């Protein structure tokens, strides 16, 4: 019985090892996945590179955790401070900037906090708190959630202490949070990409956009093969090299929804 088990596991392993060669695993965020960016980008890369890119789309927090555990070859997220920590702690090789998009504040057409049309996100958040207008937060350790918390801090509000029943912590991804916001006629912070492809808007419209502080930078990092020897470093690096190359950057810029560009490439050099 023990012998059979060993043979079975050996077979499983060997067929898996063979299969493993043909793809890399990229841990990314729900915003990039749900915006449709990967559906646009990956076919271009895969036909050139000859191997598959499998994207597991979770939140930033979970993606970085996957990288730490060695369950991904590359992480592609948008939380600079966390990414730099990731590399500093030895889990990642090097952080490359790839592209940015921006966040927008969406809210009900009726605009109870009277923030519509403004370009000042900080002031808007202060008004929302003052008016106790419903606000839906992701609350899921994602890049977006992180950014939201930063903005509250900038507004001088200790949201953990000062939140009231008007602040709804959905603990979920961007889509479900927007669904909740739509259902509750609440304000919410979202990345433009997800918003553009979101179909269940209800009465929500963009309330605040264009503030420099809503700028959202994406970075790509190869998971450190020193920590996880099985990481497919050549293929992973090939993907990173492509995405920061002029070709990859052009591919990013060419992705549009309804004629509108979602992500702006800004890889250095």
- Site residues for other proteins, window 80-109 (CB under 8 A)? none
Query: Measured between alpha carbons, how far is 163 from 169 in angstroms, rounded to an integer?
Result: 10
Q: Is 197 in the site for other proteins (CB under 8 A)?
A: yes
Q: Is 230 in the site for other proteins (CB under 8 A)?
A: yes
Which of 44, 49, 71, 166 touches other proteins (CB under 8 A)? 71
- Strand 167-169 and strand 135-137: the pairing is parallel
Residue 259: CA atoms inside 13 Å, Cβ hemisphere, count? Answer: 0
Segment interacting with other proteins (CB under 8 A) among 84-92, 99-107, 151-159, 195-203? 195-203
CB 60 within 8 A of CB 77: yes
| DSSP track, 99-119 | EEEEEEEEEETT-TT--TTBS
Q: Is 154 in the site for other proteins (CB under 8 A)?
A: no
Q: Is 137 helix (H, G, I), strand (E, B) or coil?
A: strand
Residue 17: CA atoms inside 13 Å, Cβ hemisphere, count? Answer: 6
Segment interacting with other proteins (CB under 8 A) among 50-58, 80-88, 128-136, 150-158? 50-58
- Strand 23-29 and strand 74-77: the pairing is parallel
Query: Measured between alpha carbons, how far is 21 from 52 in angstroms, rounded to an integer?
Result: 10
The nearer residue to other proteins, 71 or 84, going by C-beta atoms, is 71
Question: In the complex, what is the shortest distance from the CB of residue 99 to other proteins, in angstroms, rounded to a whole number?
Answer: 20
The nearer residue to other proteins, 52 or 245, going by C-beta atoms, is 52
The nearer residue to other proteins, 177 or 207, going by C-beta atoms, is 177
52-64 burial by CB neighbour count: b if 16+ within 10 A, else e? Answer: ebebebbbbbbbb
Which of 24, 41, 57, 267 touches other proteins (CB under 8 A)? 57
Question: In the complex, what is the shortest distance from the CB of residue 177 to other proteins, in angstroms, rounded to a whole number?
Answer: 9
Q: Is 199 in the site for other proteins (CB under 8 A)?
A: yes
Binding mask 103-142 for other proteins (x = CB under 8 A): ----------------------------------------
Nearest one of 85, 81, 29, 32 to 57, comparing CA atoms: 29
How many residues at the interface with other proteins, by CB under 8 A? 37
- Site residues for other proteins, window 161-180 (CB under 8 A)? 172-176, 178-179
The dihedral sign for the CA sequence 252, 256, 262, 266: positive
**Contact residues: other proteins, CB under 8 A:** 9, 12-13, 16-17, 20, 25, 30, 34, 38-39, 52, 54-58, 68-71, 172-176, 178-179, 182, 194, 197-201, 228, 230
């Amino acid at each position: 019985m023990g012998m059979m088990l060993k043979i079975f596991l050996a077979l499983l392993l060997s067929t898996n090892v063979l299969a493993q060669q043909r793809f890399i695993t990229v841990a990314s965020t729900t915003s990039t996945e749900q915006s449709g960016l990967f559906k646009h980008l990956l076919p271009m890369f895969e036909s050139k590179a000859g191997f598959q890119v499998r994207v597991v789309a979770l939140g930033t927090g979970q993606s970085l955790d996957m990288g730490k555990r060695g369950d991904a070859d590359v992480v592609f997220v948008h939380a600079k401070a966390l990414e730099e920590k990731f590399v500093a702690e030895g889990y990642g090789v090097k952080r490359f900037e790839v592209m940015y998009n921006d966040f927008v504040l969406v809210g009900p057409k009726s605009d109870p906090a009277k923030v519509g049309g403004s370009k000042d996100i900080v002031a808007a958040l202060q008004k929302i708190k003052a008016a106790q207008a419903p606000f839906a937060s992701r609350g899921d350790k994602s890049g977006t959630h992180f950014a939201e918390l930063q903005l509250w801090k900038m507004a001088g509000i200790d949201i953990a202490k000062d939140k009231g029943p008007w602040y709804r912590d959905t603990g979920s991804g961007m889509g479900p949070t927007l669904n909740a916001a739509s259902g509750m006629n609440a304000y919410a912070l979202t990345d433009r990409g997800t918003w553009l492809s979101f179909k269940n808007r209800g009465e929500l419209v963009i309330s605040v956009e264009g503030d420099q502080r809503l700028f959202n930078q994406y970075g790509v990092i190869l998971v450190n093969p020193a920590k996880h020897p099985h990481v497919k470093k050549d293929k992973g690096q090939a993907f990173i090299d492509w995405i920061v190359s002029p070709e990859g950057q052009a591919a990013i810029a060419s992705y549009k929804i309804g004629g509108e560009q979602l992500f702006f490439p800004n890889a250095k050099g």
